[in-house]
Amino acid sequence: MSRRPADGLGTQLRRLVELLDGDLDEIYAADGLGYRSRYSPIMRALHDGVPRTIKEVAALSSVSHSAASQTISRMIVEGLVAQRVGADARERLVHLTRKGRRLIPTLEARWRAADIAAAGLEKELGVKLQSVLERAIGRLEAHPFKSRILAVSPNEKAFRSRR
């Protein structure tokens, strides 16, 4: 699909994720796993068997606390993870269930295959896509996109006065 004039950076990034995750989800469905690619960062954070708080899972998986919490809630429904009370009664620890642990060998094989396929894509592109994304994320963490937009926005003063 070629780029349309209305396709901004965010639209293109979402399309890229749709293409990657959509194909992975089809493979997981064909494997009969009842698993979605969006679970992988959480599974990777928990696959060593150490129960973790949602905050720890979010940090290890490089997703927001909110995204980790929502994904974990869905994974609980799917029977892949469970929660238990931690040492502090307010703390909830997330851990893989037996069902989740049984998936790990198959998932690790798929993850290795996905890494090899990604390396092939990078070779075709002539650019280390993962490195570019890591650099972009690092730059945006250091200087957020909102600041960049407001710095060049003709209505920046109006935006700030409404806040």
pLDDT at residue 4, rounded to an integer? 65
Whole-angstrom distance, CA of residue 86 vs CA of residue 52: 9
Fold type of domain 9-125 = Arc Repressor Mutant, subunit A (1.10.10)
Helix, strand, coil distribution of the chain in percent, nearest 5: 65, 5, 25
Q: Name the CA radius of gyration of the chain, rounded.
A: 19
Look at residue 154 and give its three-state secondary structure: coil
Tokens of 159: 């935006």
Kindly state the DSSP code that residue 2 receives in the 8-state scheme: P
Closest to 36 in 3D by CA, of 90, 80, 85 = 80
Q: Report CA-CA distances (Å) from 48 to 79, 120, 132.
A: 18, 28, 29
Alpha helices in 31-154 (DSSP H): 40-46, 54-61, 65-77, 98-125, 129-142, 145-152
pLDDT tens-place string over residues 93-121: 999 999 999 999 999 999 999 999 999 99
Place of tokens 């609980």: 76
pLDDT at residue 58, rounded to an integer? 96
| Angle at alpha carbon of residue 14, lines to 66 and 109, rounded to 5° | 80
pLDDT at residue 91, rounded to an integer? 85
pLDDT at residue 102, rounded to an integer? 95
Domain locations along the chain:
9-125, 127-163
pTM summary value: 0.81
Residues of the chain with pLDDT under 50: none
